[in-house]
């Protein structure tokens, strides 16, 4: 990971070339083959649309709105999902009680919850956040549970003979740090799923603002260049959030794991 980060611009030649060629081909096809802005906007169309969005200042409102929805969903997924996963992983009875419920609810696609989101929360930010939450909470629960299940017994025993006896301190001092890699990858998955749910929730009118909402709105106006701009923004933002998370987790929380082959 860190090696790729320190690679100089010179060594990135192939990557840059590949992106440049893709853009040129896109531009040529859009201009010479398709030649229809509605069906395939060209690279320059998209660039101009992007500049107009920036100038208009709406981008930042949409960005903030979407991040708010995303934040509500992810944070509540963590606050609810991690304790549930911990309890299920550590206490067998809790696992047996909750497992059937989770297995029944989990296969319901998150977007199927949109009607209830609207009925329960109205056309609010909470409503969009709720749909993100539904998508994000299960990967968090399941990975936390898995992480707790696979805490090596030797660490628990070593802690016990060192005087760490209660479930509370064993969870805090042994199981949680040991399960952290698994929890972190659960959070990454949940952020990916949550990001997809976000766009859908905003498209279905759960919110009246946001990046997903804008895609739908510009589609109604037949401004496909703007649709594509918002698509790309969503893609880049998702990538950025994922990279930021990985950088933080690998560089700080899981520093002790360097050298572990997974």
Partner 1 sequence: MGEVKVSGISVAFEKENGESTLALDNVDLEIKDKEFVCFIGPSGCGKTTLLRTIAGLERPDKGQITLDGEDITIPDSTRGMVFQEYSLFPWRTVIQNITFGPHMKGISKNKTLEVAEKYLKLVGLEQFRNSYPYELSGGMRQRVAIARALANEPKVLLMDEPFGALDAQTRNTLQKELLQVWAKYQITIVFVTHSVDEAVFLADKIVVMSARPGRIKKVINVDLPRPRERTSSEANELRNQLLKMLAEERRN
What are the residues binding partner 1 (CB under 8 A)? 154-155, 157-165, 169, 173-174, 177-178, 180, 255-260
107 vs 166, which CB is nearer to partner 1? 166
Task: Kindly state the smallest distance separating residue 172's Cβ from partner 1, in Å.
Answer: 11
10 Å Cβ neighbour count for 95? 17
CA dihedral 55→243→247→82, nearest 10 degrees, is: 110
Burial (CB < 10 A; 0-12, 13-18, 19+), residue 65, is buried
Task: Kindly state the smallest distance separating residue 174's Cβ from partner 1, in Å.
Answer: 7
The span from the CA of 53 to the CA of 69, in Å, is 21
16 vs 258, which CB is nearer to partner 1? 258
The span from the CA of 5 to the CA of 213, in Å, is 34
Q: What is the DSSP string of 66-83?
A: HHHHHHHHHHHHHHHHHH
Task: Kindly state the smallest distance separating residue 180's Cβ from partner 1, in Å.
Answer: 7
CB 171 within 8 A of CB 90: yes
Task: Kindly state the smallest distance separating residue 170's Cβ from partner 1, in Å.
Answer: 10
Question: Is residue 105 helix, strand or coil?
Answer: helix
Task: Kindly state the smallest distance separating residue 13's Cβ from partner 1, in Å.
Answer: 34
107 vs 163, which CB is nearer to partner 1? 163
Task: Kindly state the smallest distance separating residue 165's Cβ from partner 1, in Å.
Answer: 7
Task: Kindly state the smallest distance separating residue 134's Cβ from partner 1, in Å.
Answer: 32
111 vs 254, which CB is nearer to partner 1? 254
| Nearest-5° Cα angle at 240, 183 to 57 | 130
22 vs 165, which CB is nearer to partner 1? 165
116 vs 256, which CB is nearer to partner 1? 256
Question: Is residue 165 helix, strand or coil?
Answer: coil
Question: Is residue 14 helix, strand or coil?
Answer: helix
76 vs 178, which CB is nearer to partner 1? 178
Query: Which among 178, 176, 215, 183 has a CA at the least distance from the CA of 199?
Result: 215
């Amino acid at each position: 990971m860190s090696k790729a980060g320190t690679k100089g611009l010179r060594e990135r030649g192939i990557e840059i070339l590949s992106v440049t060629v893709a853009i040129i081909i896109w531009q040529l096809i859009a201009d010479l083959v398709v030649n229809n802005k509605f069906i395939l906007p060209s690279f320059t169309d998209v660039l101009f649309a992007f500049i107009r969005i920036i100038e208009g200042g709406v981008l930042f409102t949409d960005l903030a709105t979407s991040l708010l929805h995303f934040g509500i969903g992810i944070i509540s997924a963590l606050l609810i999902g991690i304790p549930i996963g911990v309890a299920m992983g550590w206490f067998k009875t809790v696992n047996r009680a909750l497992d059937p419920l989770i297995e029944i609810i989990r296969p319901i696609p998150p977007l199927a919850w949109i009607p209830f989101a609207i009925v329960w929360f109205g056309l609010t930010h909470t409503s969009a956040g709720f749909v993100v939450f539904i998508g994000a909470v299960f990967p968090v629960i399941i990975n936390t549970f898995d992480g707790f299940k696979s805490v090596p017994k030797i660490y628990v025993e070593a802690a016990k003979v060192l005087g760490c006896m209660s479930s509370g301190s064993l969870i805090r001092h042994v199981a949680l740090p040991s399960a952290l890699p698994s929890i972190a990858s659960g959070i990454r998955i949940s952020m990916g799923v949550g990001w997809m749910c976000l766009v859908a929730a905003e498209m279905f009118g759960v919110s009246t603002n946001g990046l997903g909402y804008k895609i739908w709105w510009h589609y109604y106006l037949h401004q496909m260049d703007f649709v594509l701009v918002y698509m790309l923004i969503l893609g880049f933002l998702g990538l950025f959030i994922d990279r930021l998370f990985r950088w933080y987790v690998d560089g700080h929380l899981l520093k002790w794991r360097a050298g572990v082959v997974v």
